[in-house]
Amino acid sequence: SCTSANLLSTLSKQLNYPKSHLKFIFKYYCRYSQSDYLNLMRLIHALNLINEGYLDNFTIETLGEKCHFNSRTSFYRHFKKHLGVSPSQFSTLIE
DSSP the chain: ---HHHHHHHHHHHHT--HHHHHHHHHHHHSS-HHHHHHHHHHHHHHHHHHTTGGGTS-HHHHHHHTT-SSHHHHHHHHHHHHSS-HHHHHHHH-
Inform me whether the pLDDT recorded for 58 exceeds 80. yes
Distance CA 22, CA 93 (A): 39
Percent of the chain with pLDDT over 90: 56
pLDDT in tens, 65-88: 999 999 999 999 999 999 999 998
pLDDT in tens, 8-23: 888 889 999 999 998 8
Cα-to-chain-centroid distance, residue 55? 18
Inform me whether the pLDDT recorded for 93 exceeds 90. no
Percent of the chain with pLDDT over 70: 96
